[in-house]
């Protein structure tokens, strides 16, 4: 059962944390007592989020970071360890969308989406895994998508990134489970954020960022002898 202090003193790193799903997850983890390391690309928005948590009494470190760059990832993890302590929870949430027929896409579109949605997860995991392995504990949650399960017109690049993320997640879980590290994926359908357009949809019937945060809460409060490897999240009604 999720309680207000379920994660008391735990150090959680959340990417893409300045808005939408990432911000909802950060708020949930703060309510559960975690100390937060937050990153995003927009320094001004990130600063405002950090001030919100500081006013609420949450220990927080906010670092503007390009998660596609290995050097910036290493710096982020180093700053987190120096300021808060070792990363015990990693939520790989940062992502970008793109939709166009494959014949109209450019190489730059492929690089931007795959680097952000897939490569960044590899870089972040590689940066925190050694510490988790030495402590023989840790949790990594990758925010994937139902687009990693289903094909649709215009989705070639985005779906490729999310199908790849699910494969990466499953292999990471096998690599790390013997060290007491649990790796999970959350696969939501369309969420009512500004991540993508929702023309013609009733956003009140769509998934909300807090629904994804709730799934993360559930994963983080599992019994120690098991782990939820994947959560598929759909709205109760089609919007």
C-alpha 143 chain-centroid distance: 5
The predicted structure's pLDDT at residue 97: 94
The domains found in the chain, sorted by start residue, are 11-233 (3.40.50.720)
* In the predicted structure, residue 207 carries a pLDDT above the cut 90: yes
The predicted structure's pLDDT at residue 195: 72
* In the predicted structure, residue 183 carries a pLDDT above the cut 90: yes
Q: Quick count: other Cβ atoms within 10 Å of Cβ 152?
A: 10
The predicted structure's pLDDT at residue 200: 67
pLDDT band at 197 (very low <50, low <70, confident <90, very high): low
Q: Which residue has the tokens 């499953």?
A: 170
* In the predicted structure, residue 3 carries a pLDDT above the cut 70: no
As a whole number, mean pLDDT of residues 207-227 equals: 94
- Are 124 and 67 spatial neighbours (Cβ–Cβ below 8 Å)? yes
pTM summary value: 0.95
Q: Which of 60, 73, 128, 158 is catalytic?
A: 158
pLDDT band at 203 (very low <50, low <70, confident <90, very high): confident
Q: Is 158 a catalytic residue?
A: yes
Q: Please, which residues bridge with residue 53 across strands? A: none
Q: Are strands 181-188 and 11-15 parallel, antiparallel or unpaired?
A: unpaired
Mean of the per-residue pLDDT values of the chain: 95
As a whole number, mean pLDDT of residues 135-163 equals: 97
As a whole number, mean pLDDT of residues 64-69 equals: 98
9: left (phi over 0), alpha (psi -120 to 50) or beta: left
**Cα(159)–Cα(16) distance, integer angstroms:** 19
The predicted-structure confidence for 47-57, as pLDDT tens digits, reads as follows 999 999 999 99
As a whole number, mean pLDDT of residues 118-128 equals: 98
The predicted-structure confidence for 224-239, as pLDDT tens digits, reads as follows 899 899 999 999 988 7
Q: Is the dihedral of CA 133, 136, 141, 146 positive or negative?
A: positive
pLDDT band at 133 (very low <50, low <70, confident <90, very high): very high
As a whole number, mean pLDDT of residues 201-216 equals: 92
**Cα(34)–Cα(221) distance, integer angstroms:** 13
The predicted structure's pLDDT at residue 4: 61
pLDDT band at 1 (very low <50, low <70, confident <90, very high): very low
pLDDT band at 70 (very low <50, low <70, confident <90, very high): very high
């Amino acid at each position: 059962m999720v309680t207000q202090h379920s994660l008391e003193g735990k150090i959680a790193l959340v990417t893409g944390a300045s808005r939408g799903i990432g911000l909802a997850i950060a708020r949930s983890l703060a309510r559960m007592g975690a100390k937060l390391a937050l990153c995003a690309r927009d320094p001004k928005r990130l600063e405002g989020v950090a001030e919100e948590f500081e006013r609420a009494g949450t220990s927080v470190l906010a670092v503007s970071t390009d998660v596609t760059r290995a050097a910036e990832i290493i710096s982020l993890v180093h700053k987190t360890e120096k300021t808060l302590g070792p990363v015990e929870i990693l939520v790989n949430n940062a992502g970008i969308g793109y939709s166009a027929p494959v014949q109209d896409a450019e190489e730059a579109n492929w690089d931007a989406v795959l680097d952000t949605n897939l490569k960044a997860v590899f870089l972040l995991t590689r940066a925190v895994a050694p510490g988790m392995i030495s402590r023989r504990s840790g949790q990594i949650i990758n925010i994937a998508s139902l687009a990693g399960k289903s094909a649709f017109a215009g989705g070639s690049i985005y779906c490729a990134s999310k199908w790849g993320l699910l494969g990466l997640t499953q292999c990471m879980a096998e690599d790390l489970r013997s060290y007491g590290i649990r790796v999970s994926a959350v696969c939501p359908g369309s969420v009512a954020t500004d991540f993508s357009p929702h023309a013609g949809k009733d956003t009140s019937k769509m998934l909300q960022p807090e629904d994804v945060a709730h799934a993360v809460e559930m994963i983080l409060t599992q019994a120690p002898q098991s782990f939820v490897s994947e959560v598929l999240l759909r709205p109760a009604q089609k919007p």
